[in-house]
Amino acid sequence: MSQTDTNKPNETKEMELGKFGKFLKDNGIDSTRKDDSINVETIVISVKDLEPALRLLKTSSETKLNMLLTISGVDYTDRIDSIYHLWSYDHNDALVIKVELPKQSQANTDTVNLTSIANFWSAANWHERETYDLVGIRYLRHPYLRRILNPWDWEGHPLRRDYKQLVDALNDKNPHSFR
């Protein structure tokens, strides 16, 4: 099923830094605010800043963003975003961190690399494996980066926009059906 022609969501314009963005800036990590999500502070940070930023946000007593809800990978045809939803067990603030990873080539097999945070945040372990499996972001220094949902030797990353579905005896057109 071709997905390349689907419209990408609109890019939103940059805004002033919020509470967590300022906190990161105080600690020497640059970020830009992009409120794509409704009512939630969303920042974009660079690849190299990701690990220190998350480590800081998790452990610092000011932020206490100690709940990693999910890591999602989104394929925007030209780049892939790794999105971290951070909540807290202690307070009601939320933060969305995005890392934009440009794709090198349009081929299905191209790799996108990012640093793993599974070493200091156990919750990230399976989420990173899943994102690797489905979207194809390769998390470097992950303790056990293996496909988690699809079979271990699966080819391709299904949630890429250019993914070509495997057609064989298990899912070709049903011979019995009228379809």
Partner 1 sequence: MSELLNNDLNSTDLARENAALISPELADTVTLTSIDKAINMLSQIVSPIANLARSNSVWPLTFGTSCCAIEMMCVGMSAFDISRFGSEVFRATPRQADLIITAGTITRKMASALITLYEQLPEPKYVIAMGACTITGGMFNDSYSVVQGVDRIIPVDVYLPGCPPRPEAILDALLKLQQKIRTENYAKRRVQAYQQRPVCYVDYDCGRPLEDLLAMAMEDTSLALDQK
Partner 2 sequence: MSNLLTRAKDSIYQVLRGLKTVAVHSLRIPTTKEYPDTMPPLPPHFRGRLALNVNPETNEHLCISCRQCERVCPDKCIEITAHKSPETNKLELIDFKIDHGLCMFCGLCTEVCPTDCIINTNDFEMADYSREALVYDIRKLTLTQGESSHYFAAKEIALPKPKPAKPVASAPIAPSIAKPVETKTEAKPVETKTEAKPAETKTETKPAETKTEAKPAETDTDTKSTDNESK
Partner 3 sequence: MSTNLETTNLKTDEMIINMGPQHPATHGVLRLILKLDGEIVRHVEPVIGHLHRAQEWQGQNRTLFQYQALIDRVDYLSGMFTSLAFAHACEQIDGCQIPPRAQYLRALVCEMNRISSHLLWLGTFLIDLGALFGFPFYPFREREKLLDLFEEIAGQRMMFNYIRIGGVQRDPKPSWFEKVRKFTAEFPDRIDEYEAIVTQNPIVLKRTKGVGILDKSVAMDYGVTGPSIRGSGINYDLRKTRPYGIYPELNFEIPLGQNQGDTWDRYMCRILEMRQSNNLINQCLDKMPEGEISGKKQIAGLRIKAGEGFSAIESPRGVLGCYVISNGSDKAYRIRWRNPSFCNLAVLPSLLIGRPISDIMAIFGSIDVILPDVDR
Closer CB to partner 1, 108 or 122, in the complex: 108
Does the protein bind partner 1 through residue 18 (CB under 8 A)? no
| 77-86, Cβ contacts within 8 angstroms, sequence gap of 24 or more | 77/4, 77/8, 77/103, 77/161, 77/162, 78/102, 78/103, 79/103, 80/112, 80/135, 80/136, 80/137, 82/114, 82/131, 82/137, 84/54, 86/54, 86/57
Q: How many CB atoms lie within 10 A of CB 145?
A: 17
Site for partner 1 in 54-83 (CB under 8 A): none
Does the protein bind partner 2 through residue 6 (CB under 8 A)? yes
Does the protein bind partner 1 through residue 154 (CB under 8 A)? yes
Q: Which tokens sit at 165?
A: 């579905």
Closer CB to partner 3, 26 or 173, in the complex: 173
Site for partner 3 in 134-153 (CB under 8 A): 134, 147-151
Does the protein bind partner 1 through residue 120 (CB under 8 A)? no
What letters, b where the CB count within 10 A reaches 16 and e where it falls short, cover 80-115?
bbbbbbbbbeeeebbbbbbbbbebeeeeeeeebebb
Whole-number minimum distance, CB 102 to partner 3, in Å?
18
Contact with partner 3 (CB under 8 A) among 16, 26, 39, 178 = 39
| Site residues for partner 3 per CB under 8 A | 1, 3, 6-10, 36-40, 42, 66-70, 72, 74-75, 83, 85, 87, 89, 92, 96, 121-123, 125-126, 130, 134, 147-151, 158-159
Binding stretches for partner 2 (CB under 8 A):
1-2, 5-6, 173, 176-179
